[in-house]
Structure 1
């Protein structure tokens, strides 16, 4: 039976941790503490100020199917009131192109028509052959099961058997080839690889499709996007203000020990005692400060992550882009380290920064140093005709923790899920679902529903 008076520690005040607190409150749990090591909340939703306006160094946007984010909006009394985003495309020489417009690409008409046909087939396959593919989280997928909540406004509880779901462990490239829809990668790559989530020849299809389910992808294609005037960080700042117990910032956790039915957390050199702990911080590093079990050490050592670098740069007025641009030619494994997309957030002024995005790693290849990647990106920006005059901010993100095909297929997620609640410990955050703010918040909702 649930004990709403349990003392609960939540590690991390990003979307996963703060939303876990919100959902706990909604179930009557108020005896919780959120510990955050940084001096601000929001995690990868990071929106600094520049000349009186905020820009995005992390998450940029949402879509109408971000139901957990909408839960937060309703809880806080806010809405998505930001600038309308749009984009265009350039080739490697900086020439504006329209890759999906047949009239502009007569030589590509056969490929574009084939892609559209495959897109229709793909949508049907996902609804039939891969029923349950879009359920939040990964529980049961490697065993050919789905168990969770539907991606609908009502988020109905659904479960079932579907052996075809085992295919989701394949790299997305192989998954598409298996199903004869390899050209849909041209559509999915924009909101996936350029957003820092890796390359289709290495990332399991499960991650791609749980983030970019069919309806979410179509929202990106149609530019049916949500933004927030004060940035994505504002969502989580508002939630932190609204919660009964605000996050304790600058919390340095040096150790977590679990014994005698309690959890002992040493934070800023003081020991605090809890009944349960929810970890939304990166599980890859949990053994560094937890009394980790051998199973925790083994499983969490399998986690890898993307090295995703973001620059905020000024340009001279004559070099400022009139819109955001995607560079598809730089979204291939052969061009890792190069500029994939750059964003202009506000239409009404050139007195703003633009932000650039690049991945500097690929499995089996050397990882570029941050300094080397920065040089490549700035050179690419110059080739695009939008040379930077000054770098005003940069972030080198620990991004999109994940496991690879062999561990996914071997049941990594079911093994971790089987540990939920052991030693009073619960695992949430990016690795348990996906790296975007809605998936992590949605997983926290499900975690609270299942165990509290």
Structure 2
């Protein structure tokens, strides 16, 4: 007799063939690239506006924060030929939120945890800087309530979360709801944003009006609550926020059709598309900084950034040890959470009002006692 887990896997195979080879829209016709183009002809996406960069390759550039975004920006600038880039980091280590503790020779992530199928830039960096191997993500035991641990990424957990919203849903019905929600979400996503590779193009105003709400509200309105279990691990645990608090557009930028179709494929554990780094994420950023010979000032907490009253540029005042120092730069890039920068940079009142509403969530992990 087939076990419930095997039965679910068989259903997954059938439904995912539909997801991958030919999605159906409401009238039962196949959703193709050409069809999507026709639907979006009256509301074509446009490229996001470019941010003005430094005027000269010899401009002095200051980057605040030696986490993933700060180190990656410094690396890319140096690759593009910029000759004077300085990274300021308040801690005595590189990595920021990508902090890895080594325990018995095994990396334990305290921030960035795993990769997703579309992390192509990360995969390229790992290869280029020889920063270890990609390993399949093991299924951890995670407490989602006070009673007992469950498998975070399993179909059973997604069904359990759905049953909290709809108590009368059985396991078999819940499986069907979740899989149909995946198909419906992929169809809706491609109908709204088109089929693209890389960064989502800027949606037209008509589409933006349809996502002017939280991601959670978008799921409810479109009867997609069956995705909440998947999004718990892909969105919240990864640090992209809770679905009931982040914007729908932000959630849909991260939760792409390709990601959803890949994440639920029934594959052997070694072939899982979610990966971890054999040496940890922090090692990757350390190696980029070391091999690229980036100028990183550790234990250098930036205290104040002041725009020059006359001319172009900034003064960056920072503390290194007991000494308070000041340097002039032509261009400034900040990578920390903007709320934490409100005492460092004088924002416009309306900008300050937006940033002060942001806050942190903490996801606690622990070592298993073996």
TM-score normalized with structure 1 length: 0.58
Residue number among 328, 350, 360 corresponding to 1:273 in the alignment: 328
Q: How far does the alpha carbon of each residue in 1:361-403 deviate from its partner, in whole angstroms, 9 at most, with x for none?
A: xxxxxxxxxxxxxxxxxxxxxxxxxxxxxxxxxxxxxxxxxxx
Q: Does structure 1 retain, via aligned residues, the 8 Å contact 2:131–2:279?
A: no
Cα 1:151/1:87, change in 2 over 3 Å: farther
- Name which of 180, 184, 209 aligns with 1:121: 184
Superposition RMSD in Å: 3.2
Distance of aligned partners of 1:116 and 1:4 in 2 relative to their CA distance in 1, 3 Å threshold:
same
Unaligned runs of 5+ in 1: 133-149, 318-452
CA 1:69–1:101 in structure 2 vs 1: closer, same or farther (change >3 Å)? closer
Match of 1:262 in 2: 313
Matched, 1:179 2:179: no
Distance 1:166 1:3 in 2: 39
Shift of 1:231: 0.5
From 277, 287, 290, the counterpart of 1:228: 277
Deviates more, 1:188-197 or 1:122-131: 188-197
The change in CA–CA distance for 1:71 and 1:206 in structure 2 (over 3 A counts) is same
Counterparts of 2:307 and 2:187, CA distance in 1? 48
Shift of 1:87: 4.5
**1:197, distance to aligned residue in structure 2 (A):** 4.4
Report the equivalent of 2:343.
Answer: 288
Partner residue of 1:43 out of 72, 96, 99: 96
Report the alpha carbon displacement of residue 110 of structure 1 after superposing the two structures with TM: 2.0
Greater strand proportion? 1
Measure, in 2, the Cα distance between the counterparts of 1:87 and 1:295. 42
Q: Aligned partners of 1:285, 1:161: CA distance in 2, in Å?
A: 32
1:260-291 deviation digits (Å, cap 9, x = unpaired):
21210112211101101101122112220224
Q: Name the counterpart of 1:337.
A: none
Instruction: Give, in whole Å, the separation in 2 of the partners of 1:211 and 1:121.
Output: 17
Length, aligned pairs only: 295
5+ residue gaps, structure 2 = 1-53, 164-168, 266-271
Q: 1:52 to 1:190 in 2, by over 3 A?
A: closer
Which residue of structure 2 lines up, in the alignment, with residue 300 of structure 1?
A: 355
Q: Secondary structure at the match of 2:327?
A: strand
8 Å Cα contact 1:287/1:296 also seen in 2: no
8 Å CA contact 1:169, 1:204 repeated in 2: yes
For 1:254, what is the secondary structure of its paired residue?
A: strand
